Structure formats: structure tokens, C-alpha cells
Amino acid sequence: MPSLKVVLPILTVGASASALGGYIYSISG
């Protein structure tokens, strides 16, 4: 299992991208 220092930023970026995508989708559609 990869170290937490590697996994945490990836999860954070993934969550941010997901939230941003959902926001754009909600305002555009």
C-alpha cells in the first residue's frame, strides 16, 4: 500500500475535480 503522503494529495485533487465538475454541470445544465 502506498504511503499516506502520496495517497492523500491524490484523493484531495480527485475530490476537488469531482466537486468542480459537479458544480459546472449543475450551472450549465
In this predicted model, what pLDDT tens digit does every residue of 1-29 receive, in sequence order?
789 999 999 999 999 999 999 999 999 97
Q: What pLDDT does residue 1 have?
A: 72
27 φ/ψ angles, rounded to the nearest 5 degrees? -85, -20
What lies within 8 Å, CB to CB, of 23 at 6+ separation is none
Indicate left, alpha or beta for 2 from its phi (over 0: left) and psi (-120 to 50: alpha).
Answer: beta
Report the pLDDT value the prediction gives residue 2, as an integer from 0 to 100: 80
Q: What is the pLDDT of residue 13?
A: 97
CB-neighbour burial class of residue 18 (10 A; exposed 0-12, middle 13-18, buried 19+): exposed
Compute the C-alpha angle 11/14/15, nearest 5°: 85
Residue 19 one-letter amino acid? A
